[in-house]
Amino acid sequence: MTDLPGVLQLTPMNPEFNEDPHKLLDRLRNECPVRRDDMAGLFLLTRHGDVRGVLSDTSMWRSPERAEEAAVVTRAILGSRPEGLKVDEDEERSGILLMDEPDHMRIREPFAKALYKRVAKSKPKVTQVVREWLDGIGDAKTFDVMDKFALRVPVDVIARLLGVDNARLPEFREWSEGSILGLNPFRTPEQTEFYVKSRNALSAYMRELMNARRKQPEDDITSDMVILQAEGAQLTDGEISTNLQGLLIGGNLTTTDLIGNAIWLFLKNPDQLAKLKADPSLINGAVEEVLRYESPVDITGRIAPRDMEVGGCPMKQSQSMFLSLRGANRDPEAFPDPHKFDIARKDAPHVAFGGGLHLCIGSPLARLEAQVALLAFFERYPNVRLADPGMKPKWRTLPFFRGLEELVVAV
Ligand code: HEM
């Protein structure tokens, strides 16, 4: 059991994991489903039942500050602010992803209320963005789907929901590209510089947009949030600004990867693509199966709020858990024939969006974007295929995310 992988081997920096994460995850689930990784200071959970149980336990903690000192990987996030990054006092630790109650729900509820309402009526906007990028591909006979399509759609959709002025869209796209580098702990000094510049510009622009919408509300979520604040929602400007940016940072690369992973999977599984084309009403289940089979996010975390037992394993208060969403999504106990990509799968309660109090707030938007993007892409390119039929996928090496570096197709 001693040679079982720890969390550092479960990142794409490990070529074996990068090529096929499931060899290692299956081994862990079979041999030690709640594994203590002493070096990282955490427990690694890979069974679907355990992961779901922890996610839905609303007493669990999330904030890394509450983790024990030994939880070095979990706590690393606390000391990792690069030089030059401007964070106002009221923005400090104000993102809901790593926050606990009661503040988490105080902020999340008005955001969720505004976002869900917007998403419910945003299909025409999403369709328009998808169409514009497909039109932009023009007559090209081969192209990289990531660069020309999957990377482009989510940032433009979020920009429109936030209300970014058209004239600022090119800058916004650049800030978005730079902000994503914040997710990469292995960035070069040049990338850090680009990251800091982008985040500072994005924060300043968000404040500018909020002030403009206070004077003159428009049809966007930035207006919704400042109006909710004026009507009495207990939110500071810093909390609004940080969490509006969180919609971009949390939703951008993840949705890009959902679209990219989906196109890759359909090209590798022509029988499943034929099924979808024959009956486009299967699209909802198809997107759920992509989320299960090739989840864009590897893990999420929780912290034990008291001494307790998880999956038969004793845990002390403040010990940290990494929940392998990818491992849980291929657990044979939850999904018959888990390594088969099957868009007609029934009762497949995947955990790609986490769960419980922190369930991904952007899941309805990610689903909508993927559904619209996939149907439109395969309709536009009925004969699309891999440019090189023997192509080996190049997975990005960003820890805890899984998506393609490039995906070159012929049409
Ligand atoms: C396929 C696309 C996406 C995936 C796989 C994904 C995955 C996740 C996961 C795993 C979590 C953590 C949940 C937990 O700990 O229980 C999360 C949280 C979050 N996501 Fe997403 N996400 C996606 C798209 C989006 C989009 C489009 C947005 C914004 C519009 C977004 C915004 C957020 C936010 C703000 C949180 C924090 C929620 C909280 O802690 O209360 N995500 N997401």
Residue 2 lies in a domain: no
Per-chain mean pLDDT for the chain: 94
Alpha-carbon distance of 98 to 278, in angstroms, equals 43
Residue 77 lies in a domain: yes
Residue 205 lies in a domain: yes
Q: Is 226 a residue whose pLDDT tops 80?
A: yes
Q: What is the pLDDT of residues 130-189, one digit of tens each?
A: 999 999 999 999 999 999 999 999 999 999 999 999 999 999 989 988 988 887 777 889
Q: Is 1 a residue whose pLDDT tops 60?
A: no
Residue 1 lies in a domain: no
Domain that residue 124 falls in: 7-410
Query: How far from 72 is each of 108, 302, 319, CA to CA, in Å?
Result: 27, 14, 11
Q: Is 83 a residue whose pLDDT tops 90?
A: no
Nearest CA to ligand 1 atom 11: 360
Structural tokens at position 128? 């328009």
Which atom of ligand 1 is nearest the CA belonging to 295?
Answer: 5
**81 Cα to the center of ligand 1, angstroms:** 22
Task: Tell me the pLDDT band of 2, cut-offs 50, 70 and 90.
Answer: low
Q: What is the pLDDT of residues 18-52, one digit of tens each?
A: 999 999 999 999 999 999 999 999 999 999 999 99
Which atom of ligand 1 is nearest the CA belonging to 365?
Answer: 27
What does the pLDDT read at residue 13?
86
Alpha-carbon distance of 89 to 72, in angstroms, equals 25
Helix 237-268 × helix 270-278 angle, to 10°:
110
Q: What is the pLDDT of residues 300-320, one digit of tens each?
A: 999 999 999 999 999 999 999
Q: Is 266 a residue whose pLDDT tops 90?
A: yes
Question: 400 with 11: CB under 8 angstroms?
Answer: yes
Q: What is the CATH number of the domain that holds 235?
A: 1.10.630.10
What's the whole-number mean pLDDT along residues 1-21? 87
Residue 364 lies in a domain: yes
Beta-carbon contacts of 90 under 8 Å, excluding residues fewer than 6 positions away, are 236, 237, 238, 239
Position with higher pLDDT, 381 vs 180 = 381
Q: How many domains does the chain have?
A: 1
Nearest CA to ligand 1 atom 9: 353
Around ligand 1, the residues with Cβ closer than 6 Å are 55, 96-97, 108, 246-247, 250-251, 254-255, 258, 296-297, 300, 325, 352-356, 358-362, 365-366
What does the pLDDT read at residue 180?
86
